[in-house]
Structure 1
Amino acid sequence: MKEDIEKRALLAAKLLIRYNATVRKVAKILGVSKSTVHNDLTWRLYKINKGLYKQVRAILDKNKQKRHIRGGEATRRKYFAKKEKASLQNSGII
């Protein structure tokens, strides 16, 4: 495995652990795709550092358990914003 890929995998793991972040957030910080980060954090990290992998796996599992809640909140905010905009348009403010 290339050294720069290993470094990216370790950096992604450290970011995920330090900031208790999601795969999306880590991908945005590193400027790579979610798939790349997910591969780095699962099978590449497992080959590089199994101890770090166990810590990352715990965070990934926790995030997976909570994702339906985050998705529901995002949908609620989306429709609330639409409702607010329609209300402002109807009242002539916008």
Structure 2
Amino acid sequence: MKDYIENRVKEVAKFTVETKSTVRETARAFMYSKATIHKDLTERLSCIDTVLYKQVHSVLEENKAQRHIRGGKATQSKFKGMM
């Protein structure tokens, strides 16, 4: 793997752990696609740094568990704005 990819993966992973941000928020912050960030965090990071991978994995699992709540709030605010 090229050095710039490894550096990007580590930087994105550290940001995700520190801010507990979602893949979408991280992609927006680093101006990459969601697919790139997701692949970096789930596939590439496990080969580079296993300790950091475990931390990121726990953040991603927490975000996944809360996904239905965030979606409901977004829909609620959307319909409040229509009235």
Aligned length: 83
Q: Deviations over 1:51-92 (max 9, x none)?
A: 000000000000001001100000000000011xxxxxxxxx
Q: Which structure is richer in relative contact order (CA contacts within 8 A, separation 6 or more)?
A: 2
Q: Which runs of 5+ in 1 are unaligned?
A: 84-94
- Counterpart of 1:67 in structure 2 is 67
- Counterpart of 1:92 in structure 2 is none
- Normalised by the length of structure 1, the TM-score is 0.87
Q: Which runs of 5+ in 2 are unaligned?
A: none
C-alpha distance in 2 between matches for 1:51 and 1:67: 25
Question: Moved runs in structure 1, 4+ residues, more than 2 A?
Answer: none
- Normalised by the length of structure 2, the TM-score is 0.98
Task: Work out whether 1:5 is the aligned partner of 2:10.
Answer: no
Shift of 1:11: 0.6
- Cα RMSD of the aligned pairs, angstroms, is 0.5
C-alpha distance in 2 between matches for 1:31 and 1:43: 19
Percent identity of equivalent pairs = 46
